[in-house]
Amino acid sequence: MCDQDHFEEDLKKYSRRDIGTLAAAGIGAAMMLPKVADAAEVSGRDVEIETPDGKCDAYFVAPSSGSHAAVLIWPDIFGLRPAFRQMGKRLAESGYSVLVVNPFYRQQKAPTAANGANTSIAEVRPLARSLTPETHTTDAQAFVAWLDKQAQVDTGKPIGTTGYCMGGPIVFRTAAAVPDRIGAAATFHGGGLVSDGDDSPHRLIPKMKADFLIAVAENDDQRDPEAKTVLKESFEEANLAAEIEVYPAGHGWCPPDTRVHNPEQAEKAWSRMLALFEKALA
């Protein structure tokens, strides 16, 4: 995953320097995301959400009229930033009420990475390590409860959740913490989904009710090729639908501001997510 020692090594193989140069120059992530066909008019705002540990700063964006299925987005280790705001806006334009959270609110408000996705892993690693399975769970419960109070959210429809990099395990814990509300879940280059520990995210699958999309980076798969098999078998035993695929792209390929962003494979993953939501959040 993104906080392991091989991050810089993998950059040599997967770095898209044209994307990194644009991001470093301050060119907006919106310019790197394809437009949504028949996009809904949306409005977004910064919000604060009460949790057992304080107030979480977040970004909420939804179609300007009506109520819609909600989606909770957990960012990668670089946190809530312009790229994830744009990703949230793009998803809202497809008809969802979207909450993008700052998972590190206990330490500081967003932005939590000084140089966005170009920040060194060493600088943000302590933030990631400050989180625990317990904070994942209590945060998930608080954020889902907040969403269900918003006029833009149709509480008659299930909620979706997505997570990138370190957000992958949080997605699993969200689906297990609020199983009666989470109907669809997607992880993109999620790290640490399977381990030998008793608190491994995959051990929570029997508690879930959601359909899953798990998009795996090829370099993550190369380092732990058995993980996808364990996940497949675990979902089958729980009788849950799960699309698990290894993508020909490096860890971190989805957010448009990363140095390993792969536009073609990111669009494929995005389209599979939309297909999942269309089916499971209806």
Q: Helix or strand or coil: residue 279?
A: helix
Residue 69 lies in a domain: yes
Distance separating alpha carbons of residues 179 and 5, to the nearest angstrom: 34
Q: pLDDT value at position 182?
A: 98
Cis preceding linkage at 111, omega within 30:
yes
Residue 243 lies in a domain: yes
Residue 28 lies in a domain: no
Residue 138 lies in a domain: yes
Residue 162 lies in a domain: yes
Residue 144 lies in a domain: yes
Q: pLDDT value at position 6?
A: 57
Residue 66 lies in a domain: yes
- 20 touches 134 (CB < 8 A): no
Helix (H) or strand (E) run with residue 245 in it: strand 242-247
Distance separating alpha carbons of residues 192 and 160, to the nearest angstrom: 21
Write out the residue range of the structural domain in which residue 216 sits: 43-281
pTM recorded for the entire structure: 0.93
Half-sphere exposure of 204 (CA within 13 A, CB side): 24
Q: pLDDT value at position 7?
A: 60
pLDDT mean values, one per 10 residues, the chain (282 residues): 55 62 46 82 98 97 98 98 97 98 97 94 95 98 98 98 98 98 98 95 98 97 97 98 97 95 97 98 96
Total tally of structural domains belonging to the chain: 1
CATH number at residue 255: 3.40.50.1820
Q: pLDDT value at position 27?
A: 45
Residue 13 lies in a domain: no
